Structure 1
Amino acid sequence: MKTLLTTILILMCLLGTELSFAEKKQDSALSNKSFKKGVRLFNSGNFIQAEKQFQVLLDSGYRDLDLIAIQAQVHLELHAPHAAKDVILLTDERNEDLDFLLAVSHYFLEEFDEAYKELMLIKDTAAYHVDDMKRRIDYAKQHYRDYKGYVIQNFGPEVNTKYREYAAVMFHGTGELLYTTRNDSSEYTAHDGMAFETIHDTSIDSLNAWHVADPFEFHTRHEKRHDATVQVYDDGKKLITFHNGRLFKSHLENGAWEEDELIDIHGEDGVDTHCFIADDESFIIFASDFRSHGRDLDLFVSYKQTDGTWGKAIPMDELNTEFDEDAPFLAEDSTLYFSSRGHHSLGGFDVFKSTYDKTTKKWSKPENLDFPINTVSEDIYFSIHGKVAYISSTRKGGYGSLDLYRVMMFNEFKIEGLVLNDKTKEPIPDCQIEIEYDQFYFRTYSDENGHYEMFVPVNENMVMTFNKDGKKLHQEKYYVDVFFREKDDHVYNFHVPHVVGAPTANANLEDGEEPTLIHMEMHNEFDPQSFVVSISHDKVGHWSDSLKNFYEEKHIAYLARTDKSGQSSLFFDFNSHSLSESGEHMLKQLYSSILEGGEYRVAIKGHTDTRGSHTYNKKLSLKRAHAVAKYLHRLGVKHHDVAVEGMGETDLMHHDDSETAHAKNRRAEIFYERKQQ
């Protein structure tokens, strides 16, 4: 299979960069036999053995800049930017080669600001297109900042290793997979120094953990041949695999796989790396370099003829670029997913999607799936089944090189149930539930029957605090895990002590303590399900309240009450969330003239000025909104009639840096809506 080179090669190719260590000095450590052997291995693509040869010299104390530069590039070729960074930092000396390689290492580690600083040390020349690299960093930062609402899960050490694991294909449902690995289970190695590709089998257990993978034994397995996964189809009765540059098909008969058969699509020389074939074998979409004579991979489609042969391979021109396109997968809803190094990818292979227009007979413009599915590293072999997808990636945080990841195409799950007194088992009405995770804060309430419902983040440690009548009852750490089963179950009852004024000790809040698991179950299907949602990062803070942020979803009149000085909001002192006397007076007027009687629901937005960090201002603005809500509760407004939100400094009334502007931005805005009868 065509080697997955790291994006460093592409960046250097695009930017026209050639490292200066090509000119070697004969009177230094670089004349050492280990170095010469390492260079030969490097040039042949055997980075595994080249790294070992160069490490011999480094361990001996040599710190030649050319040696460090080539070893750093070896690490980058092996998808190990941490190691590349570490070897560069072995010396305090610098040249432009090392500055550039350090910038690239930071880039792959998603340390974008550090990468930018290193590039500032290099002139923008024909050798180093620094400005282009800076634009690439800005492009990546933009996409990372606006990331989508998905959950990305590494398969863990039972499956992933420091070697390459990739190309997961569904086998007997989403709970069992076949995949390709180049781990050290074989004593034989290919020309690149890594083990030959072999196919392994893994499945998920009742605790949502993947079992230790086993070799998938079938007749095509050879000790000195690449055997890789491509597709399982026709209800698991047919299997397509890759062997040394070509695609093969096998049939399952009486529990055994019959001899593989070459899929002769185009009858020409070239490497066919991956494909998607219809269950009825009426068409095949495949990736190949047979038209470019090994220069790059393109996507083609071919249709089965009446005589059983494949028709002429038709290039998919709307999808192909001058770079590689690979790993096509046609989903159940007829969306085509594929990976490409073109189409303005974030870096290396990115996953794109496209749909076919039967009227124009053209594929739509490829759409980047964006972060977190795509990163600045290699992201390839994407397949999706319902709301679960699989991807192979060299992203940071993995176990080494390509790792397997599972993707949940949502990041929030609706749970509902009762808040109960843990002794009497009686419902607790009007109980406030505050949830905190990462930098986000939100709350909900139980109703008069003790029932609550809320969307909560999946696979995030949450600190949940239960309050009643302004007193803390209980605090604990929770974690929502979603299991794909044959039923939908999103009911969870909280059992909390109900001793007002005598809160329990904070349970499970120490570092390292395991959170309480909230076990949720759902069918895996393509159709929309009301209890799962995908919320992008910039919208997370806006879905938080059990009242569903009615002031954003419906038409809400803005309550504009003007005091004697002409101000139209309730204002706060610097770094304070305490109500002023004029603020309390305004709220009393509001209650007596409008809110008394319980006919209205209220929404409160807290705001800050621009001073202070985003996280601090988010907390402070929420405290200001809570202060207003608490005072309204004292006046008689029911807890479940009030929703609060902290906006931080994201919605300024005045954008200049004057004290007057700051004072007017430190405010709480109040909205109201008459309840529907």
Structure 2
Amino acid sequence: MKRSIPIFFFLVITVITNSSYAQEVQDAASSHKSYKKGARLFKNGNFVKAEEQFQMLLDSGYRDNDLIAYQAQVHLELHEPHSAKDVILLSPKRDQDLDYLLAISHYYLEEFDDARRELSLVTDTATFHVDEMRRRLEDVAHHYHDAQGYVIQNFGSEVNTKYREYAPVMYDGFKELLFTTRNDSSEYTAHDGLAFEAIHDTSIDSLNQWHVADPFDFHTSHEKRHDATVQVYRNHTKLITFHEGRLFKSHLVDHTWEEDGPLELHDVEATDTHCHIADDESSIIFASDFQSFGHDLDLFVSYKQEDNTWSEPEALTELNTDFDEDSPFLAGDSTLYFSSRGHNSLGGYDVFKTTYDSKKKKWRKPINLDYPINTVSEDIYFSTYGKVGFISSTRVGGYGSLDLYRILLFNEIMINGTVVDEQTKDPIPNAQIEIVYDSLYFRTYTDKDGKYEMFVPVNKNMKITVLDGKKKVSQGEYFLDVFFREQDNLAFDFEIPSAGAVTPPTSGAQLIHVEMKNDFEEKPYIKSIAKDEISSWSDSLKNYYEQVRIANAPPGPGMVTVYLEFNSSDLSPSVKNVLNELYEDLLKDGKYKVEISGHTDPRGSQSYNQRLSLRRANVVGEFLFGHGLKKDKAKVVGYGETKLIDPSDSEEAHAKNRRVEIRYF
């Protein structure tokens, strides 16, 4: 069968093998036949049935620590850390075994402070991997803090269930999806208590919604054996699948998949779990345990020979570790992705990438893809096609165990359009567009023709307000979704009701539909803004001019505003970019006088806010002076909380108020 994904790698040794659990039949709970049967099932790897036996005892009122430890481990093996934590908290008096299991449960729930607290109670470092766990807790703070700006989308309840869905394979222009599931659609179960692996199929509609998944019409599928997805290639006419430890090739004949037989990659009895075969079938990279005699998976490469057989497999020694490597995927830009339990992964499997050095004839050192692609949970079966990726993960927030996710490798996209009168279709010049989401605030302005450009977040609910002067002319909830098509179309027009017009209320957010070609090319209109930068990020000066865009504006006074973090005067890279543009475009020739004024929100004392506002203004001033702005041309002042843009007590108002204004005149 296909390799299971145990959650205890590195961090846990089976607690029930400790001396405290080696004693036979300690009390009524442990002498109960359900306890003995559950322990036997646990030892044999049937965690589903073991959970049922232990739960019967718990439901009857037993609170024995041995029983609770067993059940907690069962839930962790089934990727259910919430349930593991809940059952541990049933114990009236925890011991070190339960403290350690609770620390691990918190870890997989991404409750890292709680995990540290529980781990501090475990003093038995000979029995438990305390030092290893501490190292991971230190590492995870770094990985999670430097989160990449990606959008992670669960495939939803039409695809994912409380069981296991994994190994996504996209084809037909990303409209069709094959994947592996171990749901309850089959009455037959494998030795681990879960249903046999089966391949399911689904498709996406014009609204980016996935249809209910159905069993894949596959010639070789069988209810009492494992059938799993691996790869579709050769223009969707050839298919690689997994069957009972071997990789099989099939081809499409009259809309039916016909099996060609197994890939004869070696002459040793072993398990080959996954592969990526070149489109012309000249080479194959695959995962197998044939050199470790069933202990660990490694990556190998073989080449097609003149007699149509595969060459002797070569181990990818630069990538293999003492632990499992699996699910290789060679992307269109020649980057190799794979999952590994080694290379200092965050949890179990993490996704890594590497490229081949043709001069040295070896693979470069693998790079961890980091959070949010990798989490402390299991992250495996990653594939990527240009700007979008796919992964299977047990991460927090899913439907249960392994779920399928789509990854957009960006989180901000520039849209453009015109603000027009809904009835006359006349453009509205010099209109202000405000965007608020996640307590963040941005704005931009239309030019003399009513046109605008602005970066907006993907897959976020936004409140967008349009003002004509001081008058609010439109406000609504919006949600931007990206559709991958053959060409780019990022246009969206805001239609403003005419004065006096009555508009019916809308329910829910209005969809901003943008289309984008999916490829590996860099594009200036999509951005990946890291988590720790997004609150002070801006795309360009276009967001901050309080008049028409400079390219179309006559000479005259104006103002640029940059926004800072709460209680901070630090300038993010994006704010520095804004100030760079301001200096180069307007202030470099010295024709303007400048006032740099710092402001705060009303939280904190007036005296502290006064000092903070001046500190903010000084930081911006020193940045511009360092670029060449003459000090005799500038005035630097702090106004504290005396000039609030929005006096209301809301996160949106606070985000608007903590700012530095650079006026030029």
Q: Which residue of 2 aligns with 1:209?
A: 209
Q: Which residue of 1 aligns with 2:166?
A: 166
Equivalent positions of 1:262-661 (< 5 A) are 262-497=262-497, 514-540=508-534, 541-544=536-539, 547=542, 551-554=578-581, 556=583, 570=598, 620=654, 622-625=656-659
* 1:87 aligned onto 2:82: no
Q: Greater shift after overlay, 469-478 or 93-102? A: 469-478
SS across alignment from 1:259:
strand
**Structure 1 unmatched ranges of 5 or more:** 561-566, 591-601, 610-614, 626-667
Q: Is the 8 A contact 1:551 1:603 kept in 2?
A: no
Alpha-carbon shift at residue 622 of structure 1 (Å): 3.7
Residues 604 and 524 (structure 1), Cα distance of their counterparts in 2 relative to 1, 3 Å cut: farther
Q: Is the 8 A contact 2:85 2:106 kept in 1?
A: yes
Q: Which residue of 2 aligns with 1:670?
A: 662
Alpha-carbon shift at residue 425 of structure 1 (Å): 3.1
Q: Distance in 1 between matches of 2:254 and 2:540?
A: 56
Query: Could you report, residue by residue, the CA deviation over 1:46-80 in whole angstroms, capped at 9, with x for unpaired residues?
Result: 00100001111011111111111110110000001
Q: Is the 8 A contact 1:72 1:88 kept in 2?
A: yes
Alpha-carbon shift at residue 17 of structure 1 (Å): 9.5
Query: Could you report, residue by residue, the CA deviation over 1:361-408 in whole angstroms, capped at 9, with x for unpaired residues?
Result: 010110111111111000000111121211101111111111111111
Q: Which residue of 1 aligns with 2:195?
A: 195
SS across alignment from 1:323:
coil
Alpha-carbon shift at residue 124 of structure 1 (Å): 5.4
Q: Is the 8 A contact 1:301 1:316 kept in 2?
A: yes
In the alignment of these two chains, the number of paired residues is 598
SS across alignment from 1:373:
coil
For residue 170 of structure 2, what is the amino acid of its counterpart? M
Query: Could you report, residue by residue, the CA deviation over 1:450-508 in whole angstroms, capped at 9, with x for unpaired residues?
Result: 11110100000111122232343332111001111233211111123465xx9999966
Residues 282 and 187 (structure 1), Cα distance of their counterparts in 2 relative to 1, 3 Å cut: same
Q: Distance in 1 between matches of 2:27 and 2:220?
A: 51
Q: Distance in 2 between matches of 1:603 and 1:7?
A: 60
SS across alignment from 2:478:
strand
Q: Which residue of 2 aligns with 1:8?
A: 8
Q: Distance in 2 between matches of 1:176 and 1:239?
A: 14
Q: Distance in 1 between matches of 2:325 and 2:638?
A: 48
Q: Is the 8 A contact 2:599 2:639 kept in 1?
A: no
SS across alignment from 2:542:
coil
For residue 522 of structure 2, what is the amino acid of its counterpart? P
Identity of aligned residues (%): 58
For residue 66 of structure 1, what is the amino acid of its counterpart? D
Q: Distance in 2 between matches of 1:287 and 1:607?
A: 63
Q: Distance in 1 between matches of 2:211 and 2:21?
A: 45
Query: Could you report, residue by residue, the CA deviation over 1:95-114 in whole angstroms, capped at 9, with x for unpaired residues?
Result: 11111111111111111111
For residue 415 of structure 1, what is the amino acid of its counterpart? I
Residues 296 and 467 (structure 1), Cα distance of their counterparts in 2 relative to 1, 3 Å cut: same
Alpha-carbon shift at residue 532 of structure 1 (Å): 1.9
Alpha-carbon shift at residue 426 of structure 1 (Å): 2.4
Q: Is the 8 A contact 2:610 2:638 kept in 1?
A: no
Q: Distance in 1 between matches of 2:20 and 2:329?
A: 41
Q: Distance in 1 between matches of 2:16 and 2:662?
A: 57
Q: Which residue of 2 aligns with 1:612?
A: none
SS across alignment from 2:407:
strand
Alpha-carbon shift at residue 131 of structure 1 (Å): 3.9
Q: Is the 8 A contact 2:541 2:581 kept in 1?
A: no
Q: After TM superposition, where is structure 1 displaced by more than 6 Å over at least 4 residues in a row?
A: 14-17, 502-508, 557-560, 576-580, 602-609, 615-618
Q: Is the 8 A contact 2:96 2:122 kept in 1?
A: yes
Q: Distance in 1 between matches of 2:341 and 2:663?
A: 49
Q: Distance in 2 between matches of 1:258 and 1:409?
A: 35
**Structure 2 unmatched ranges of 5 or more:** 544-574, 589-594, 622-633, 642-648
Q: Distance in 2 between matches of 1:19 and 1:532?
A: 57
Q: Is the 8 A contact 1:607 1:621 kept in 2?
A: no
TM-score, normalised to structure 2's length?
0.83
Q: Distance in 2 between matches of 1:555 and 1:454?
A: 17
Q: Is the 8 A contact 1:454 1:546 kept in 2?
A: no
Alpha-carbon shift at residue 5 of structure 1 (Å): 2.9
For residue 556 of structure 1, what is the amino acid of its counterpart? Y
For residue 543 of structure 1, what is the amino acid of its counterpart? S
SS across alignment from 2:383:
strand
Q: Distance in 2 between matches of 1:603 and 1:185?
A: 72
For residue 386 of structure 1, what is the amino acid of its counterpart? G
Alpha-carbon shift at residue 87 of structure 1 (Å): 1.0
Query: Could you report, residue by residue, the CA deviation over 1:76-97 in whole angstroms, capped at 9, with x for unpaired residues?
Result: 0000111111111223321111
For residue 520 of structure 1, what is the amino acid of its counterpart? V
Query: Could you report, residue by residue, the CA deviation over 1:625-655 in whole angstroms, capped at 9, with x for unpaired residues?
Result: 3xxxxxxxxxxxxxxxxxxxxxxxxxxxxxx
For residue 271 of structure 2, what is the amino acid of its counterpart? V
Residues 394 and 468 (structure 1), Cα distance of their counterparts in 2 relative to 1, 3 Å cut: same
Alpha-carbon shift at residue 243 of structure 1 (Å): 0.8
Alpha-carbon shift at residue 175 of structure 1 (Å): 1.0
Q: Distance in 2 between matches of 1:446 and 1:12?
A: 58
SS across alignment from 2:392:
strand
Query: Could you report, residue by residue, the CA deviation over 1:500-535 in whole angstroms, capped at 9, with x for unpaired residues?
Result: xx9999966xxxx62111111112222223322222
Q: Distance in 1 between matches of 2:8 and 2:397?
A: 18
Alpha-carbon shift at residue 13 of structure 1 (Å): 4.7
Alpha-carbon shift at residue 138 of structure 1 (Å): 2.3
For residue 670 of structure 1, what is the amino acid of its counterpart? I
Q: Which residue of 1 aligns with 2:553?
A: none
Q: Distance in 2 between matches of 1:210 and 1:224?
A: 28
Query: Could you report, residue by residue, the CA deviation over 1:141-167 in whole angstroms, capped at 9, with x for unpaired residues?
Result: 221121111111111111111111111
Q: Which residue of 2 aligns with 1:594?
A: none
Q: Which residue of 2 aligns with 1:634?
A: none
Q: Is the 8 A contact 1:556 1:671 kept in 2?
A: no
Q: Which residue of 2 aligns with 1:646?
A: none
Q: Distance in 2 between matches of 1:141 and 1:505?
A: 49
Q: Is the 8 A contact 1:475 1:507 kept in 2?
A: no
For residue 200 of structure 2, what is the amino acid of its counterpart? H
TM-score, normalised to structure 1's length?
0.82
SS across alignment from 1:454:
strand
Query: Could you report, residue by residue, the CA deviation over 1:18-58 in whole angstroms, capped at 9, with x for unpaired residues?
Result: 58434344332111101100011000000010000111101
Q: Distance in 2 between matches of 1:33 and 1:243?
A: 36
The two structures, once aligned, show a CA RMSD in angstroms of 3.4
Q: Distance in 1 between matches of 2:356 and 2:15?
A: 34
Residues 605 and 309 (structure 1), Cα distance of their counterparts in 2 relative to 1, 3 Å cut: farther
Query: Could you report, residue by residue, the CA deviation over 1:648-671 in whole angstroms, capped at 9, with x for unpaired residues?
Result: xxxxxxxxxxxxxxxxxxxx4637
SS across alignment from 1:444:
strand
Q: Is the 8 A contact 1:167 1:180 kept in 2?
A: yes
Q: Distance in 2 between matches of 1:306 and 1:465?
A: 66
Alpha-carbon shift at residue 260 of structure 1 (Å): 3.3
Q: Distance in 1 between matches of 2:199 and 2:156?
A: 18
Alpha-carbon shift at residue 119 of structure 1 (Å): 1.4
